[in-house]
Amino acid sequence: MNQPAPRYFALIPAAGVGARMAANGPKQYMAIGGKPMLRHTIDAFLSSALITHTFIVVSPDDGQIDGVVPDAGVTVLRCGGATRMESIQNGLRQMGELVGPQDWVLVHDAARPGLNAALIEKLITTIGGDAVGGLLALPVVDTVKRAGAAVSTVARDGLWLAQTPQMFRYRLLVDALAAATDASVITDDASAIEALGHSPKLVEGHPRNLKVTLPADIRIAEMYLAAP
């Protein structure tokens, strides 16, 4: 019997407070290009015909999300945790009734508003039927220095900067995060997969998919969003 074709689900953890942004509230609700940052991220997934459904994880007491999400295509999960990893685990748990073990989950940072349908399609088509999955990333082009008692140069050959979405099968991602005993070393979803001995595929992304972390990043994101 033929197995059903896997589906693609987006999961956006959006329970953070954005402390480094020094804003009056969670940075995902800051206006960029005339609308909340999180709405740009949501719209990217809604613009892709490849995405079956989008889930957003927010804090239980989030009072702003209802004014940001559209009426269809998105489910808000009010189960955000103290850390990004905890929020993702809680979200995956609540998604479980709707998502099959071999369906793909694309975990994406709420603070990356420059994602678009073309990048989503590139990630999905490049990963294809890969046994593990993968993520958008950018090869390092600048010279890298390591600070310490003596400054040294790090060879950049083979170095990449991880972006999101990071795309893995639902069951593999759940198992990888559950096996992560030291949350401090799991800096992204791919690192949890790597800790199980797997090797995610790196798919070249785009600078427009930057993570808005500091106030100066807002203008850069707006420039990319304004571009055709």
Q: Tell me the average pLDDT across 114-121.
A: 98
CA 59 to chain centre: 17
pLDDT band at residue 2 using 50, 70 and 90 as cut-offs: low
Please write the tens of the pLDDT for every residue from 47-72.
999 999 999 999 999 999 999 999 89
Closest CA to 70 of 54, 58, 59, 57: 54
Report the percentage of the chain scoring pLDDT > 90. Answer: 86
Q: Residue type at 51?
A: I
**102, pLDDT greater than 60:** yes
Whether the predicted pLDDT of 89 surpasses 60:
yes
Residue 185's pLDDT is: 80
In the three-class reduction of DSSP (H, G, I as helix; E, B as strand; rest coil), residue 155 is classed as: coil
- Tell which wins on pLDDT, 172 or 27: 172
For the chain, the structural domain boundaries read: 8-226
pTM exceeding 0.85: yes
Phi, psi of 165 (to 5 degrees): -70, 155
Q: Is the pLDDT of residue 118 over 80?
A: yes
Q: Is the pLDDT of residue 19 over 60?
A: no
* pLDDT tens digits, one per residue of 177-212: 999 987 778 899 999 999 999 999 999 999 999 999
Report the pLDDT value the prediction gives residue 23, as an integer from 0 to 100. Answer: 58
pLDDT higher than threshold 60 for residue 18 = no
Residue 22, pLDDT above cutoff 60: no
Instruction: Give the span between the Cα atoms of 92 and 105, in whole angstroms.
Output: 9
Contacts of 114 (CB under 8 A, 6+ apart): 40, 206, 208, 209, 210, 221, 224, 225
Does CATH number 3.40.50.20 belong to domain 8-226? no
* pLDDT tens string 123-153: 999 999 999 999 999 999 999 999 989 999 9
What average pLDDT does the chain have?
Answer: 93
